[in-house]
Structure 1
Amino acid sequence: MRIYAIGDIHGRADLLARLSKSIEADLRDGEFDEAVTVFLGDYVDRGRDSRYVIDRLARRDFPTRIVTLRGNHEDEMLRYLDDPAMLEQFVAFGGLMTLVSYGVDPGREMRAGGAPAVHAAFLARLPQAHRRFLQETEISVEYGDYFFCHAGVRPHVPLDRQDPQDMMWIRYEFLNYPGDFGKVIVHGHTPHAHVQNHDNRINLDTHAFKSGVLTAVVLEGERRWFIDTAGQGV
């Protein structure tokens, strides 16, 4: 089996398209029976094209079967969809660009009717397939010696007992832990200039929104290598 895992996209549909082509080319190399791509979450906010990222993933438009995990930004978006009072927090997380990508003019709607008007306009423009996609995202998945989630896990807690909020939001308690988690944790959430390829975890958040570098790890047996939109393979 060959597994691809992709870090935080944050509305960069252009980078997703580029990385998809690189993975399609990579699939022609090697012998394996099955390939799957795990998306680690944070598809929305900050970048210009959140709508198009969600649309592509909801349609499963990718060279392999895909598993889509939930990031903290999808968690916030779902909270906002259920509660218009969450607008300020949603915008603080970069949701303004998500609203614009769906054709919402937040300034005009605020002048017309405040936060409820922004919320109503968003609901009117959000396809049901997109909302269903968000609701159906998974919190974690595991294959062999690898455990995949958005943010990480809490040390000293068995993987099958992890809190979903930790797996979407945890940061320093996880990042600063040098020990074994039971499996190698493949995650994103905390941006870094380069992939962090450690014995106990692999961080794939290469800050695609700002850097233009969206990164995937390829896992096959005991091998692991990386593909990114900067055209570098390691």
Structure 2
Amino acid sequence: MPQRDWRYPQRSEARLQGEVPLFLGAHLGKGPGRRELTPVDRVYAIGDVHGRFDLFRDLVELIRQDQAVLPPAFTRIILSGDIVDRGPDSARMIRGRMALTKVSDRFMVLKGNHEEMMERSLRGDLETFEHWLSLGGEQTLLSFGVDPALLQELVTSETLRFAVEAVGEDVIRWLERLPLTHFHDGFLFVHAGIRPGIPIHKQRSEDLLWIRRDFLDDDSTHGVIVVHGHTVVEGGPVIRHNRIGIDTGAYRTGRLTALGIESGKTWILSTALEPNAHDELANYQALWRESMARASGRVSQEQVGTDE
């Protein structure tokens, strides 16, 4: 199939270290400082990357191929948070996404609980720092060039100082400014979910970043369809009438998922499962069948996996 670039001819774009998706129809130079985002017709929401730049690159290529067979449309890519930790390339994920969000509002990164832990740690919270290291923060610091031997020692304020120097103030400020939510055409994009029964504008950041069962088990209509990550569903995206979960455990399964949205229609793009993930997935088949049997209100097959 021939590769086509759906850029509008009157718009100009520029490559940025080979990582700018040229198919977004983006007008570069309108960064996150704008009070109003440029309208788009099509959105791709990507689940938790967790340092797997290799999978992110592959998924962006799948999105590019998808764009090539669809009618031209201004497009936004939204990362649903947790681009850091666990995988080997968190530094590359951060630095590349920092560059993109500075030059185009067609690329957006939402804050996840792992970005929040990283931010709080690097602002001097030693207790959070120790907790963050145990949840994948160590891999993030290694990707920024921190000496592995330093991370094997007892966590101290000196360890934290080295971490801050390695990551840099510009990264910390970028993490602090990441938005918690984004709304598009009846869909609310957020990392973890929302507190049922609470208006969107009154939601607590703690819930938006960390909520699980109170949100996942709720069947009420929220007034929007919530698109979220945070809770791993290794069998594939969860699609219900009130929410769509797109965290497919990329860091350990090799499956990174994007949800396409346009004019109320949705579709799924995913990278392929890695070979060693099939045995692990087999252990969850009984759970999936049970979950599917008791699920209600879903709009397509739902597979419920594990929480992390």
Scaled by the length of structure 1, the TM-score of the pair is 0.92
Pair 1:35 & 2:85 matched: no
Structure-2 separation of matches of 1:109 and 1:41 = 25
2:32 is aligned to none
2:38 is aligned to none
Whether the 8 Å contact between 1:15 and 1:229 is mirrored in structure 2 is yes
Higher strand proportion? 1
Q: Which has the larger radius of gyration?
A: 2
Distance 1:202 1:109, change over 3 A: closer
Question: Number of residues paired by the alignment?
Answer: 230
Whether the 8 Å contact between 1:11 and 1:53 is mirrored in structure 2 is yes
Supply the AA of the counterpart residue of 1:228: S
| Structure 1 counterpart of 2:200, from 152, 159, 164 | 159
Structure-2 separation of matches of 1:159 and 1:25 = 35
1:97 is aligned to 139
CA RMSD of aligned residues (A): 2.0
Report the Cα offset of residue 31 of structure 1: 2.5
Alignment of 1:1-234 (within 5 A): 1-60=41-100, 65-86=106-127, 87-108=129-150, 115-193=156-234, 194-230=236-272
Q: Tell me, which stretches of 5 or more residues in structure 2 are unaligned? A: 1-40, 274-308
**1:135-167 deviation line (CA, Å, top 9, x unaligned):** 221000101110010000011111122111100
Structure-1 separation of matches of 2:167 and 2:145 = 9
Distance 1:32 1:157, change over 3 A: farther
Structure-2 separation of matches of 1:7 and 1:136 = 20
**1:94-148 deviation line (CA, Å, top 9, x unaligned):** 111111111112533665x952222121122113332232122100010111001
Report the Cα offset of residue 85 of structure 1: 1.4
Report the Cα offset of residue 46 of structure 1: 0.7
**1:167-198 deviation line (CA, Å, top 9, x unaligned):** 00100000000110110000000001110011
Structure-1 separation of matches of 2:45 and 2:73 = 17
Distance 1:114 1:144, change over 3 A: closer
Structure-1 separation of matches of 2:190 and 2:254 = 22
**1:12-42 deviation line (CA, Å, top 9, x unaligned):** 0111111111111212222254210111000
Structure-1 separation of matches of 2:219 and 2:135 = 29
Aligned residues with identical type, % of pairs: 34
Moved over 6 A (4+): 61-64
Whether the 8 Å contact between 1:104 and 1:118 is mirrored in structure 2 is no
Structure-1 separation of matches of 2:176 and 2:107 = 16
Using CA pairs under 8 Å that are at least 6 residues apart, name the structure with larger relative contact order, 1 or 2.
1
Structure-2 separation of matches of 1:50 and 1:109 = 16
Structure-1 separation of matches of 2:66 and 2:104 = 10
Structure-2 separation of matches of 1:171 and 1:114 = 29
